[in-house]
Structure 1
Amino acid sequence: MLEERFSAGGFSARLCRCNTAVVGTGAAGYNAADRLWQLGQRDILIVTENRLAGTSRNTGSDKQTYYKLTLSGPEGDSVREMAETLFSGQCVDGDIALCEAALSAQSFLKLVELGVPFPRNRYGEYIGYKTDHDPRRRATSVGPYTSRQMTECLEQAVQAKGIPMLDHLQVIRILSDGHTAYGLLCLDTAAREETDRFVLIQCKNIVYATGGPAGMYADSVYPAGHYGATGLALEAGVKGKNLTEWQYGLASVKPRWNVSGTYMQVLPRVYSAAEDGSDEREFLMDFFKTPAEMLSKLFLKGYQWPFDVRKVAGGSSIIDVLVYLERCKGRRVYLDYRRNPVGGAFSYDELEPEARDYLTRAGACFGTPVERLGHMNAPAVEFYRDKGVDLAREPLEISLCAQHNNGGLAIDCWWQTNVAGLFAVGEASASHGVYRPGGTALNAGQVGSTRAAQYIAAKRGGAPEEGFEQAAAQALEQMGALARRALQPQGNVRALWAQAARRMSECGAAIRDGGAIAVYLAEVKAQLASFERNVTASEAAELRWVYRLRDMLISQYAYLAAMLDYMQQGGKSRGSALYTDPAGKKPYAQLPDAFTFVLDDGSRGGRVQEMLYRDGACVFEWRPVRPIPKDDDFFENVWREYRETGNVG
């Protein structure tokens, strides 16, 4: 890595040069750097805004899942069968599904070798269990912190190799002409002087491992230090894909954490209260006829954690809807593990068989919810205690939150975007569709970063592309001028951020109304048009929020436009999104009219929505999914090609 100075338009920046810049220090980013090194690449630089932040290191669930090929038991499995499972999730490209299946065992076993303690039996089989949308027992876990342990082990491997890292660098512009990537412009958030404010990185390849655009939403289970940077990639000319497809689910507000699995299966008391904590009400009983019916649905919410529009009528997702509606009234919703629901006026024998049998087998038909939780899953209690919340003494505030973007940046089977040299890995990439088995995101991040590294090592060595100087000069002048104009005695950027995030959660999350989306879409467009005039920061330390807000608004604009286009093309409610449709039906008469909808019939599952953000507008294209490849698997032919080319490209 060489370091120089670069000047343009009265602004100066440190300049670093390398072959490949990896943006992000989550599990996918670290794996990309580690794989590149293993494949002989040495001219690597890791760029991160905060090494200790991000979703991989700071998120989890009751039993955070890693999804892979079956490696135990008598049941059959195959790469092709796993690929078909992934492909069946709708709007999934078959070549990507095949890669994620084919490299799942390799990626998993690398993590094992690095020290991630995935459980195995006495004979060495890596045992598994079924997760959602999983026909096999492909899921495994090391507990609530699976992704954290992955990240820490990969980080140790990278540090042992001495791969250089620049911390406290926030990417604020991807240098590109819309076809080729030239590098990055970053804000040094630790800089004290204006002359040290900006850093330019000239590189031939960018591995973009920035996670999903978490900052768009106020109601979010993403860790507080994760924001994403999808808008910057869209601005650079990268196509968006399946932007409409998200996962939402119930999560605690502080700390941000999925309340899945045993958190629901122990049957906590669910109540709402006024803003000041007064007027407690077990509001679910306004809807359900009996405590047993309500508690059975609550139990199933543990298994069926993501909000699924198919499970609103007669299923557990009605719990998500009722929580959402209660919060829309301005009330706060809590899980209470101190006391039994409905004053203990329920019988375990009256629960639906699945709930009754599970709790009976677990020996948990006793005591209070926190006692049942401690009996069934003591680490679940310890987690919150470690975060300063004692479930035996205080309730847990919850909301319906954004959890994972199944869409993102469009990629090919080497995880390269349509902008040459820019690879998107992890949640930043659109490798999933409408539905996906739980835990596939962790596998996808490892597989995608491995594929990107393989392609870069084989095809994209050498010096950076020509064109950097012009792109760098333009970006430095524009972003430098934005900083100077934004610094004012009174800053409004944090208030604007909070307002935009709240508006997105209101109209562009799990419950979507076309009219409300169109109204806020126009507001976002106006905010972007007046951004340089209206956004201010009171001190240099707030500039990071100025650039972050700019990225966030571009992301919101693209995602809202994608939702509106989906509806205009006749799209119906599917996955984790309920689209209000007057031509539909309400699953329950007592629900508001916003919950009148039509279920998607699956006929659009073979088509992908792609979007190009160009000159402040979104251009959409719908194409068929790429099928699962059926290549020649005759050994001698594949072996010959592998010897000659490595079968890369």
Structure 2
Amino acid sequence: MTIDVRQEILDALTDVDMPRLPPEAAPSETVRRAGIEVPIYRAGCVVVGSGAAGLRAAVELKRRGDDVVIVSQSAWGGTSACSGSDKQTLHTANTADQGDNYKAMARAIRSGGAMDEDTAYVEAVGSSRMMASLQFLGLPLPQDPLGGTLRYQTDHDEVGRATSCGPRTSRLMVKVLAEEAIRLGVPFYNQTTAVKILTVGEGVGRHVVGILVMRAGDRTEQNPLGIALFISDVIVLAAGGPGELYRDSVYPNGCFGCLGLALEAGVELVNLTESQFGIGTRREGFPWNLSGTYVQAIPHIYSLDSKGVEHHFLGEYYRSTQELASNVFRKGYQWPFHATRMLEFGSSLVDLAISSETAAGRRVFMDFNRNPPPVPGDLPFSLERLDEDVGLYLGKAGAGQNRPIDRLRHMNPLAIELYRRYKIDIAEEPLEFAVNNQHMNGGIMVDTWGRSNLGGCYAVGEAAGTHGVTRPGGAALNAGQVFGTRAAEHISASGRAKRTATEDITGTAEAGIIDVLAALRTASPLTVKSIRSEVQARMSEKAGILCDQQSVAQALIEARQLNADIRARGVAYGRAAEAVRGVQWRHMALASEAVLSALDFFIRNGGGSRGARAICDAVGESLPLASAGPLEEYRFRREREADRDKQIVVRLEGDEIRLSTRANRTFDESARSFFERDWPAWLTGRIYDLADD
């Protein structure tokens, strides 16, 4: 049996048109500062980023009567709108299988360690509300005939709390939230790149007063770079993760995030050692994660050398055809690389093998028209010879077809349709892919309301470092919605965004403009292209899934030198658009140094292997095995249990990266609420902890 889905249904879930942006409001005034005519825009709150998390924050603020605007480098061009996988996941509390036990869900979310326990509970308890509100806005999550939401198991998910609209789930989230923001009258400023956060005060009293941007629409002869000033006492950083950090990346092009921007403003970051890597098609073509049914269909994975000779390389790692096929399947719900899954012939041995092939200069492909060939000396592939969990899943799915493409078409025809939209027919030709960087689990350190250490500065979505070492698939989409709402609730309760800002901060702005212009020098030998090439190569080759102490230490030395050179020489630019990129690559070089500093600190202090990376060490306790014997080159350190209880904090002091550790915040599972006792805290606003705001 094959699922028969009409083409118009496939089209609706694949081709998701985004709404047209409303006309932009004109600046309130213009002033001459630092030799240029600077347009000024005023708002109660500025949300930086137009992805799902930023839109949620803006919608919730506007609903509460706050004055909010959205600035976006490229509306509908970020990861929420442009990234995904076979059936992109939203991870929320379930209505069955213990999924509605919020405390159990919180334990699952934080199970990898290095995550605040209260944050995990906030994400768990907020998930039901987020899913219901998205459905109210029109998100087409699938239901059974009695109204229950359809669920499945995803990575780091022991219960099955995942649901999906298909490969475009997050884009559909952006669509319904954007439509609501436009309906509510939230102003958008597109082609607007944040370049400097403006602050006043000292120590704990430092707080936001505005943000400098570069806007294509504000370029004039008197302001050739289009520098503009948004005056606001509150900003929400929702610009996503540092997608340009790695050469081998599945992020859409041009995703810079805001970690360097935040560091420059004195904002503290956390958990920068923690990312996600996994198999996917690179952004040179169509960037997409190859999780879920793409690998659960069990395609043939092979490589081609420079002479075009095909290599069945996975047969050199696994002991039997059954073991090989079963672990290819398991990449569906064990998609992210994890060091421990390289052991005992687990599923991350697939990632290691693919990474080794590409490092050797071979190209790796997935062929959906062929089943895996037999491991040398073993029986051929058969659906009757699979590990019990794999055979049970395919049996329940009715995926007993002879070829991978037919199994994929049965389980998820949208997965095939999606690549066809980008001129890749996986039903006809093999698909080239690699192990890529996919998500930053660390980011800006925030509390349970999304507040950073800088007064008036909040962070939500991938910009916020709320995740620990691992997270269930789809938990990031949920976290962005939960914290977008939480930040909006807190900002609204403070009253600081009820009215448009009226302060005169042009003196502070002038100093910021001078700083931005000083970093851009037409005669600099440092170009956007040279910085990009250096940063991305270093991060992909020295800070990918396989690391060692010496290589990371050397990479850090080189990153520090690059930033010293940028400070001394600036970044070259020709056209105004290159000036924007110059600032962004200055920020990305700083973010790279911050990541490498945290990773070097972690490894030098005995840190071991966990979610993102294997820390290779000749005297490491863990040794992956292949069918031919031990893989001594990849011997790695075991994770230390104590490291799960703390996080590495990164801050910039002057030109120096400073590092420290802090213990995870805890959550008392035995605590019980009592209505009459606790209701007054809600009525009076004490729950928002506004004393220091």
Q: TM-score range by the shorter chain?
A: over 0.9
The reply on whether 1:281 has 2:281 as its aligned counterpart is no
**CA distance in structure 1 between the aligned counterparts of 2:495 and 2:305, rounded to whole angstroms:** 59
Aligned match of 1:66? 90
Name the SS for the 1:335 alignment partner: strand
Aligned with residue 514 of structure 2, among 465, 471, 477: 477
Q: Which residue of 2 aligns with 1:342?
A: 373
1:261 is matched with: 292
Contact 2:556 2:600 in 1 (8 A): no
CA drift at 1:464: 4.8
Matched, 1:320 2:351: yes
Query: Does 2:90 align with 1:50?
Result: no
Aligned to 1:104: 127
How far 1:457 moved relative to its partner?
0.7
Partner of 2:684: 644
Q: 1:486 aligns with which of 522, 539, 556?
A: 522
Distance in structure 1 (CA, Å) of the matches to 2:413 and 2:192: 39
The 3 A distance-change label for structure 1 pair 21 and 591 is farther
Distance in 2, Cα, partners of 1:410 & 1:563:
17
Shift of 1:3: 2.1
Give how far 1:286 is off. 2.6
Matched with 2:210 is 183
Contact 1:326 1:332 in 2 (8 A): yes
1:491-510 alignment, distance < 5 Å: 492-510=527-545
The equivalent residue for 1:526 is: 561
- Judging changes above 3 Å, is the alpha-carbon distance between structure 1 residues 509 and 12 closer, same or farther for their aligned structure 2 residues? farther
Could you tell me how far 1:76 is from its partner in structure 2?
Answer: 6.9
Paired residues of 1:269 and 1:341 also in contact (CA < 8 A): yes
SS state at 1:204 partner: coil
Q: 1:476 Cα shift?
A: 0.5
Offset at 1:45? Answer: 1.1
Q: Select the residue among 224, 235, 250 that pairs with 1:206.
A: 235
Task: State the SS of the aligned residue for 2:451.
Answer: coil
- Relative to structure 1, is the Cα distance of residues 592 and 543 closer, same or farther in structure 2, using a 3 angstrom cutoff? farther
Paired position in structure 2 for 1:295: 325
Deviation per CA, 1:240-271, whole angstroms, max 9, x where unpaired?
11111111101112311111111112221211
1:23 partner letter:
V
Separation in structure 1 between the aligned mates of residue 349 and residue 625 of structure 2, nearest angstrom:
10
Aligned to 1:454: 489
Aligned to 1:128: 151
The SS at the match of 1:619 is strand
CA shift at 1:543, angstroms?
1.7
CA distance in 2, matches of 1:194, 1:428: 34
Aligned match of 1:16 in 24, 38, 41? 41
Residue 615 of structure 1: CA displacement? 1.4
Does residue 1:602 correspond to 2:641, yes or no?
yes
The equivalent residue for 1:587 is 624
Identity of aligned residues (%): 36
Give the superposition deviation at 1:391: 0.8
Contact map agreement 2:234 2:457 (CA 8 A) in 1 = yes
- 1:509-588 maps to which residues of 2 (within 5 A)? 509-531=544-566, 533=569, 535-584=571-620, 585-588=622-625
Q: 2:673 aligns with which of 625, 633, 645?
A: 633
Q: Deviations over 1:7-49 (max 9, x none)?
A: 33323321111110001000111111100011111x2111001
Contact 1:9 1:477 in 2 (8 A): yes
* One-letter identity of the residue aligned with 1:453: A
Question: C-alpha distance in 2, partners of 1:243/1:403?
Answer: 14
Q: 1:168 to 1:365 in 2, by over 3 A?
A: same
User: Which residue identity lines up with residue 302 of structure 1 in the other structure?
Assistant: G
Match of 1:160 in 2: 183
1:89 is matched with: 112
Match of 1:271 in 2: 302
Q: Deviations over 1:468-497 (max 9, x none)?
A: 3343111111212333x2368x98322431
Question: Which one of 212, 222, 238 corresponds to residue 195 of structure 1?
Answer: 222
For residues 591 and 191 of structure 1, the distance between their equivalents in structure 2, rounded to whole angstroms, comes to: 61
Secondary structure of residue in 1 paired with 2:42: strand
Q: Which runs of 4+ in 1 moved over 6 A?
A: none
Q: Which secondary structure state, in structure 1, belongs to the residue aligned with residue 266 of structure 2?
A: coil
Tell me the equivalent position of 2:651: 612
Summarize the alignment of residues 355-434 of structure 1 with structure 2, pairs less than 5 Å apart.
355-434=390-469
Q: Indicate conservation of the 8 Å contact 1:219/1:400, yes or no.
A: yes
8 Å CA contact 1:491, 1:538 repeated in 2: no
Contact 1:7-1:473 within 8 A present in 2 as well? no
Alpha-carbon offset, residue 347 of structure 1 = 2.6
* SS of aligned partner of 1:303: coil
Please tell me the residue identity of whatever aligns with 2:155: D
538-547 or 230-239, which deviates more: 538-547
> 1:251 maps to what in 2?
280
Q: Deviations over 1:294-336 (max 9, x none)?
A: 2222111122111011100121100000000111111111112
In the alignment, residue 62 of structure 1 is paired with which amino acid?
A: D
Q: 1:411 to 1:194 in 2, by over 3 A?
A: farther
The one of 472, 477, 501 aligned to 1:442: 477
Q: Structure 1 residues 454-463 or 362-371, which shifts more?
A: 362-371
Alpha-carbon shift at residue 84 of structure 1 (Å): 2.9
After superposing the two structures, state which structure 1 stretch, 366-375 or 560-569, moved more: 366-375
Q: Deviations over 1:260-300 (max 9, x none)?
A: 1111122212111235x722222222333433332222111
Q: Distance in 2 between matches of 1:168 and 1:76?
A: 41
Structure 2 length-normalised TM: 0.88
Q: For residue 409 of structure 1, report the CA deviation from its aligned partner.
A: 0.6
Does the 8 A contact of 1:204 with 1:465 survive in 2?
A: no
> Does the aligned pair in 2 maintain the 1:487–1:539 contact within 8 Å?
no
Q: Is the 8 A contact 1:6 1:15 kept in 2?
A: yes
Report the residue type matching 2:323 in the other structure. E
- Alignment gaps of 5+ in structure 1: none
- When structure 1 is superposed on structure 2, of 505-514 and 364-373 the one drifting more is 364-373
> Are the structure 2 counterparts of residues 362 and 95 from structure 1 closer, same or farther at C-alpha, using a change threshold of 3 Å?
closer
Determine the C-alpha separation between the residues in 1 that align with 2:222 and 2:631: 56
One-letter code aligned to 2:76? L
CA shift in 2, pair 1:130/1:271, >3 Å: closer
Deviates more, 1:564-573 or 1:170-179: 170-179
